[in-house]
């Protein structure tokens, strides 16, 4: 797997504290499986991002069936519903604001998340929200599974080509499911 | 002779105005701090640092990540809010400097006693000035005091951002609100003076249609392109053309707000398009002369113009572009220098000298047009061969457009993908700057779309300026009671995530729903540029009056003051609240009663930040597009926290829960659909009548079902009692409410206020 820290957008440079590169997909899967309260955050660009399952929404549906909480931002929950799956829905700004709140009990009211995994966003928007969480939600671990390195996550995939990324995501999803 | 006038040291008081002075005339930086904190306690800032460092002093750079503090002690939250303040100060100063330049010029040209007759059927000529300053300006000269005040306050706000001054993020935020309030005063001053002196429309709903688009320019004639926001130099060009009967021989078109104001001055001038078209239009080779004034100009305009041998006339001290000051030179000598190419441009700082020089120059230059022609369409594939496919263009693009793939197709002679990018491109040119082989990507894209561009021609209703008092009287009640579902203002720049068509789509959605839709600036232009299957745009389909289903183009950036001014006038004219120096009470009224929301889908500039800040202090929520998240902080409510949503009932002083209305004060939407649903929700106010709330809820549900595929999960926070439920949806809504444990009358319908002093009687 690539370990490139090439930024998705030229000027969205990293600050002094940068994301660790996820060395191989199994590591990301292990982090997700090890988390007590993981949350998969799916951005509105997920529809149309090709994966081994179809698109990123199909993949997220698969993950949700592993018992991991999935939240769709923007209006993209509508697409999940059209495909017959209910996931949580919350605007990205509302979610970022709540993730930094130590008293927030999550979308299901069962307690605070210890891991938030982001994918399916425009690069700059994910960059910004992750940076808010980097400084203001320091006890929350964040992972970016986007195809370009996200410096403001705690952990991020390296920048890679679309085909390689599809394989990496597929391995992560399969690894998660194997653990259940 | 001096009856009715009291002279204080440095300021004139109008004792003929019988409205009592409110508590906060000419508020200083801290006067409205407690008011701001009411909002900032409810809508807490969520910071998304755009940069983790502070590099403003020589102790630094300082890393502020997490809990770290800078060498001066500043925190990350403090630094982010400080940058918000600085951005708002830049924006407000820009509008104030614009206003000052115009005022100095107009006082000289028209005299000090020009009456401020700015709108038909209108007594409240300047709601912001009355509200903030506590004065009633009657003549041009009265605006001097107002600008003196604005300038003094802005200096103090900038001073607060110095190292070792303010340190608390909430206090920085309050100061940003102050900058926003000052901004709207400056906007109003700038617009009412140009209306009063230049004969611009005075609030007529049915202003004439002007023409917008590339296709409106007759390129066989000499073409002057004016760019910017300060219309004075363009006015002189138009006057010169009129006086010398040359309007039919020379084309004059504008980009950005100068274009709006040119059309307000004379509808025969053309609006070429929004600010993002600068590079495209310069590169098109159509303009023979570029005249720039100020704000949002490309700072590389000289470089771009020089490539094609187009002379540039700069007209503002704000943007001298390195040119020699030729203001007092013989006009004919300047013209000779520009026509011969001896000089690339000239700085002419006296607006009344710009017209003759511009027109004579363009006539001379047009004769040698084509000497440095842009490339022909067939050359695109030849140029594209240089592309190595490095993807730097894609990585530098704000919208990650598939530029490399389009250039790759062009290599094979397929220009369609390049042409398809045209509408999505914001025109920033970062792709070209990043390209290691310097491909002229913007030019290639524009050229590939050449045929479509040549036919671009859209009608746009000329900016009308203010809303008349009589219109406010007509719609005040249905707005305040919620029966007109809301007032949505689509304003701001053209940094769209997926093209300007989204703005037209949003506008039409709310027009169909009988909201009042206002617009200005680049957004007003983008609305014009989308046609339906019958070839009509929204200006042709909806009237321009301030009423349900009206599409009101107020004009340029400075005309945004009339949008917020209309909300102030609702409080004053409909509700009979005093304006004079009475900011908190009026803002309290607007916040609790007037269902207005601003949308800046392509917000880009610091000026847009300042305009938004002026809305926040008045209690008007603002939604921005995804790029607006780069303003680095949101002001977000937490709808589930009941304790955050209490108000006083002015009838008896009881503190009551009114639900999360409006939920947010500053919010970035990820998608158009999210924005539509959020706007429908943000127009709800505690004062809505049952009927009004039912109308608003029905729109919220309908949009939510359309785009999210379900009923909203927070209806129990907005339905106060059974009468709030839209009749046709009763069963469906009751089912949802029962599932969420809704209790009727838990949410009160009081006479709402956040101000203890507005309580009329204690229970």
Task: Please judge whether B669 and A16 are an interchain contact, meaning their C-beta atoms are less than 8 angstroms apart.
Answer: no
Q: Are B330 and B336 in contact (CB under 8 A)?
A: no
Q: What is the pLDDT of residues B475-533, one digit of tens each?
A: 999 999 888 999 999 999 999 999 999 999 999 999 999 999 999 999 999 999 999 99
Q: Is the pLDDT of residue B6 over 70?
A: no
CA-based nearest distance B197→chain A, Å: 45
B572 pLDDT more than 70: yes
Q: Which of B47, B395, B678 sits opposite A8 (nearest CB)?
A: B395
Distance, CA of B647 to CA of B588 (rounded, Å): 11
pLDDT confidence of residue B7? 45
- Residue B524 contacts by C-beta under 8 Å, 6 or more apart in sequence? B260, B460, B463, B490, B553, B555
Closest-CA residue of B relative to A129 is B48
Which of the four pLDDT bands, split at 50, 70 and 90, describes residue B377? Answer: confident
Q: Is B475 left (phi over 0), alpha (psi -120 to 50) or beta?
A: alpha
SS3 state at A82: helix
Structural contact between residues B393 and B431, judged by C-beta atoms closer than 8 angstroms: yes
Kindly tell me if the per-residue pLDDT of B12 is higher than 70.
no
Selected residue of A108, A136, A142 to mutate for chain B interface (largest B Cβ count, 10 A): A136
Distance of CA B117 to the CA centre of its chain: 24
Distance CA A97, CA B190 (A): 38
How far, CA to CA in Å, does A3 sit from each of A113, A167, B130, B410, B739? 27, 15, 61, 32, 49
C-alpha distance from A129 to closest chain B C-alpha (Å): 6
Q: Does a cis peptide bond (omega within 30 degrees of 0) precede residue A133?
A: no
Across the interface, of A16, A81, A93, the residue whose CB is closest to B63 is A16
Is A15's CB within 8 Å of B667's CB?
Answer: no
Give residue-wise pLDDT tens across range B433-474.
999 999 999 999 999 998 888 888 999 999 999 999 999 999
Cβ atoms of B42 and B637 closer than 8 Å:
yes
Q: Is B80 left (phi over 0), alpha (psi -120 to 50) or beta?
A: alpha
pLDDT score, position B14: 67
C-alpha B225, offset from chain centre: 22
Note whether A124 contacts B629, CB cutoff 8 Å. Answer: yes
Residue A163 structure tokens:
């085909």
Average pLDDT over residues B30-38: 98
Contacts of A17 in chain B (CB under 8 A): 52, 63, 65-66
Mapped onto helix, strand or coil, the DSSP state of residue B165 is coil
Residue B273 CA to residue B740 CA, distance in Å, equals 49
In the predicted model, residues of chain A with pLDDT beneath 50 are none
Minimum CA–CA partner of A134 in chain B? B66
Name the residue of chain B whose CA is nearest to A96's CA: B46
What are φ and ψ of residue B297, in 5° steps? -75, 155
At B326 the pLDDT is 98
pLDDT at B16: 81
Domains detected in chain B: 5-198 (1.10.8.190), 209-366 (3.40.50.2030), 377-417+438-454 (no CATH), 458-758 (3.40.50.2030)
Q: Two tokens at B448? A: 């590939």
Tell me how far apart the alpha carbons of residues B753 and B567 are, in angstroms, rounded to a whole number.
16
Q: Which of B621, B708, B740 would you mutate first to test chain A, the one with the most A CBs within 10 A?
A: B708
Which is nearest to A12 in space by CA: A112, A163, A179, A129?
Answer: A129
Which chain A residues have a beta carbon less than 8 Å from that of B398? 9, 124
Over residues B218-247, the pLDDT tens digits come to 999 999 999 999 999 999 999 999 999 999
Q: According to the model, what pLDDT value does residue B267 have?
A: 87
| Nearest-CB residue to B76 (from A92, A129, A135) | A135
For residue B53, which residues of chain A lie inside 8 Å, CB to CB? 15-16
Band of residue B11 on the pLDDT scale cut at 50, 70, 90 = low
Measure B122 CA to nearest chain A CA, in Å.
41
Chain B residues in contact with A73 by the CB 8 A cut-off are 670
User: Which residues does chain A have within 8 Å of residue B673's beta carbon, measured at their own beta carbons?
Assistant: 74-75, 78
What does the alpha-carbon distance between residue A168 and residue A144 come to, in Å, rounded to a whole number? 13
Both tokens assigned to B30: 């801290």
Q: Summarize pLDDT for B702-724 with one digit per residue, the tens.
A: 999 999 999 999 999 999 999 99
Q: Which of B65, B629, B671 is closest, CB to CB, to A44?
A: B671
> Residues B407-419: what's their mean pLDDT?
96
Contact A44 B66 (CB under 8 A): no
Phi, psi of B263 (to 5 degrees): -70, -30
Q: List, as ranges, residues 690-719 from B with C-beta within 8 Å of A.
A: 707-710, 713
Give the separation between CA B670 and CA B672, rounded to whole angstroms: 7
**Percentage of residues in chain B having pLDDT higher than 70:** 97
d(CA A140, CA A149) in angstroms, rounded, equals 19
| Partners of residue A156 on adjacent β-strands | A21, A144
Q: What pLDDT does A146 receive? A: 97
CA distances for B538 relative to B453, B510, B549, angstroms: 20, 12, 11
Give the B window 389-408 contacts with A, CB below 8 Å: 392, 395-400
H/E element holding B347? strand B345-347
Single out the residue of B182, B193, B95, B187 nearest to residue B141, CA to CA.
Answer: B193
B217, pLDDT greater than 80? yes
Question: CB A136 to CB B710 under 8 A?
Answer: no
Q: Which backbone phi and psi does B626 adopt, to 5 degrees?
A: -60, -35
- Decide if B634 touches A, using CB distance below 8 A: yes
Q: What ranges do the domains of chain A cover? A: 20-178
pLDDT at B41 over 50: yes
Q: At what angle do helices B331-340 and B354-366 cross, to 10 degrees?
A: 30
Q: What is the pLDDT of residue B1?
A: 38
**What digits encode the pLDDT tens for the residues B93-105?**
999 999 999 999 9
Beta strand B270-273 with B62-63 is unpaired
Radius of gyration of chain A measured on its C-alpha atoms: 15
B209 with B460: CB under 8 angstroms? yes
Q: Which of residues 31-60 of B touch A (CB under 8 A)?
A: 44, 46-53
Whether residue B317 lies within 8 A of chain A, CB to CB, comes out as no
Q: What is the DSSP letter of B296?
A: S
Residue B393 binned pLDDT confidence (cut-offs 50, 70, 90): very high
In whole angstroms, what is the distance from residue B81 CA to residue B671 CA?
A: 26
Alpha helix (H) ranges present in chain A?
25-34, 56-64, 77-82, 92-99, 123-136, 162-178
- Per the CB < 8 A criterion, the answer to whether B326 and B260 are in contact is no
B79 vs chain A: nearest CA distance in angstroms? 12
Query: Is the CB of A138 less than 8 angstroms away from the CB of B670?
Result: no
Can you tell me the distance from the alpha carbon of B720 to that of B485, in angstroms, rounded to the nearest whole number? 17
Torsion, Cα A20 A24 A25 A29, to 10 degrees, reads -70
Tokens encoding B123: 């007594």
Write down the pLDDT at residue B729.
94
Query: String of b and e for A123-149 (b: at least 16 CB within 10 Å)?
Result: bbbbbbbbbbbbbbbeebbbbbbbbbb
Contact at CB, B668 and A17, closer than 8 angstroms: no
Nearest to B600 by CA among B484, B461, B488: B488
Share of chain B above pLDDT 90, in %: 93
Kindly list the residues of chain A whose beta carbon comes within 8 Å of any beta carbon in chain B. Answer: 6-11, 15-17, 43-44, 73-78, 81-82, 89, 91-94, 96-98, 100, 121-125, 128-129, 131-132, 134-136, 138
Q: Which residues pair with B596 in a beta bridge?
A: B487
- Spell out which residues of chain A touch residue B47, defining contact as CB-CB under 8 Å: 132, 135-136
- What is the pLDDT, as a whole number, of residue A180? 53
- Tell me which chain A residue has its CA closest to the CA of residue B50: A128
Q: What is the pLDDT of residue B277?
A: 87
Task: Name beta bridge partners: B753.
Answer: B648
Strands B752-753 and B646-649: antiparallel
Q: What is the pLDDT of residues B350-360, one digit of tens each?
A: 999 999 999 99
User: The CATH number of A20-178 is which of 3.40.640.10, 3.40.50.300, 3.90.1010.10, 3.40.50.1220?
Assistant: 3.40.50.1220
> Rounded mean pLDDT of chain B?
95
């Amino acid at each position: 797997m690539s370990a490139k820290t090439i930024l998705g957008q030229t000027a969205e440079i990293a600050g002094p504290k940068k994301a660790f590169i996820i060395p191989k997909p199994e590591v990301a899967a292990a982090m997700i499986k090890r988390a007590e309260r993981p949350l998969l955050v799916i951005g509105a660009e997920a529809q149309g991002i090709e994966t081994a399952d179809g698109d990123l929404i199909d993949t997220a549906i698969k993950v949700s069936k592993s018992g991991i909480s999935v939240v769709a931002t923007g209006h993209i929950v509508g697409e999940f519903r059209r495909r017959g799956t209910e996931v949580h829905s919350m605007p990205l700004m509302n979610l970022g604001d709540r993730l930094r709140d130590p008293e927030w009990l999550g979308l299901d009211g069962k307690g605070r998340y210890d891991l938030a995994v982001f994918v399916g966003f425009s690069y700059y928007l994910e960059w910004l929200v992750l940076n808010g969480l980097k400084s203001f939600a320091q006890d929350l671990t964040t992972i970016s599974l986007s195809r370009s390195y996200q410096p403001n996550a705690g952990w991020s995939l390296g920048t890679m080509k679309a085909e390689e990324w599809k394989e990496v995501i597929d391995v992560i999803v399969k690894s998660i499911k194997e653990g259940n | 002779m001096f009856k009715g006038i009291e002279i204080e040291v440095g300021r004139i008081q109008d004792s003929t105005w019988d409205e009592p002075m409110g508590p906060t005339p000419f508020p200083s930086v801290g006067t409205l701090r407690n008011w701001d904190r009411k909002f900032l306690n409810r809508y807490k800032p969520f910071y998304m640092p755009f940069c983790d460092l502070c590099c403003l002093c020589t102790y630094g750079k300082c890393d502020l990540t997490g809990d770290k503090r800078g060498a001066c002690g500043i925190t990350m939250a403090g630094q982010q809010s400080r940058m918000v303040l600085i951005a708002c100060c830049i924006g407000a100063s820009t509008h104030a400097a614009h206003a000052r330049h115009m005022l100095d010029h107009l006082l000289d040209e028209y005299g000090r006693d020009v009456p401020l007759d700015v709108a038909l059927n209108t007594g409240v000529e300047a709601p912001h000035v009355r509200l903030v300053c506590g004065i009633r300006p009657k003549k041009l000269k009265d605006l001097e005091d107002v600008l003196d005040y604005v300038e003094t306050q802005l200096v103090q706000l900038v001073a607060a951002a110095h190292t070792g001054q303010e340190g608390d993020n909430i206090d920085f935020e309050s100061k940003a609100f102050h900058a926003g309030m000052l901004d709207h005063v400056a906007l109003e001053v700038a617009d009412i003076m140009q209306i009063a002196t230049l004969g611009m429309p005075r609030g007529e709903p049915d202003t004439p249609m002007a023409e917008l688009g590339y296709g409106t320019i007759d390129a066989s004639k000499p073409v002057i392109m004016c760019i910017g926001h300060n219309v004075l130099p363009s006015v002189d060009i138009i006057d010169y053309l009129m006086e010398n009967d040359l309007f039919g021989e020379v084309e004059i078109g504008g980009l950005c707000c100068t274009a709006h104001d040119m059309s307000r001055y004379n509808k025969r001038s053309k609006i070429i398009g929004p600010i993002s078209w600068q590079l495209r239009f310069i590169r098109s080779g159509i303009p023979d002369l570029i005249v720039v004034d100020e704000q949002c100009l490309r700072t590389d305009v000289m470089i771009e113009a020089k490539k094609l041998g187009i002379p540039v006339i700069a007209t503002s001290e704000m943007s001298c572009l390195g040119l020699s000051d030729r203001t007092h030179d013989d006009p004919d000598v300047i013209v000779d220098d520009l026509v011969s190419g001896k000089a690339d441009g000239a700085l002419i700082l006296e607006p009344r000298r710009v017209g003759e020089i511009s027109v004579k120059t363009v006539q001379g230059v047009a004769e040698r047009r084509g000497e440095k022609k842009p490339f022909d369409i067939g050359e695109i594939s030849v140029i594209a061969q240089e592309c190595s496919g490095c993807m730097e263009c894609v990585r530098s693009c704000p919208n990650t457009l598939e530029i490399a793939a389009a250039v790759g197709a062009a290599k094979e002679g397929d220009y369609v993908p390049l042409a398809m990018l045209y509408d999505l491109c914001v025109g920033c040119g970062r792709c070209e700057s990043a390209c290691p082989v310097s491909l002229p990507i913007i030019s290639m894209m524009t050229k590939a779309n050449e045929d479509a561009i040549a036919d671009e021609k859209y009608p746009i209703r000329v900016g009308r300026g203010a809303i008349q008092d009589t219109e406010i009287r007509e719609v005040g009640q249905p707005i305040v009671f919620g029966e007109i579902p809301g007032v949505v203002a689509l304003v701001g720049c053209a940094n769209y995530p997926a093209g300007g068509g989204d703005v037209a789509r949003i506008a039409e959605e709310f027009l169909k729903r009988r909201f009042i839709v206002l617009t200005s600036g680049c957004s007003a232009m983008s609305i014009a540029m989308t046609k339906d299957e019958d070839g009509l745009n929204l200006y042709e389909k909806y009237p321009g009056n301030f009423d349900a289903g009206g599409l009101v183009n107020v004009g340029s950036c400075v005309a945004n003051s009339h949008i917020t001014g209309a909300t102030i006038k609702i409080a004053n004219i409909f509700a009979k609240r005093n304006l004079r120096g009475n900011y908190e009470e009026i803002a309290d009224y607007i916040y609790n009663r007037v269902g207005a929301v601003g949308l800046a889908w392509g917000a880009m500039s610091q000026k847009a930040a300042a305009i938004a800040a002026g809305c926040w202090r008045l209690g008007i929520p603002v939604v921005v597009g995804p790029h607006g998240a780069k303003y680095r902080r949101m002001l977000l409510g937490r709808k589930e926290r009941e304790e955050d949503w209490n108000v006083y009932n002015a009838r008896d002083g009881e503190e009551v829960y009114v639900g999360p209305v409006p939920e947010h004060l500053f919010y970035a939407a990820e998608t158009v659909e999210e924005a539509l649903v959020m706007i429908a929700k943000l127009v709800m106010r505690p004062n809505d009548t049952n009927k009004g709330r039912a109308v608003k809820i029905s729109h919220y549900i309908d949009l939510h079902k359309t785009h999210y595929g379900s009923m909203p999960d927070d209806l129990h926070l907005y339905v106060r009692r059974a009468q709030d439920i839209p009749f046709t949806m009763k069963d469906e809504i009751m089912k949802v409410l029962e599932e969420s444990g809704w209790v009727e009358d838990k949410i009160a319908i009081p006479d709402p206020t956040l101000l203890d002093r507005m309580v009329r009687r204690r229970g």
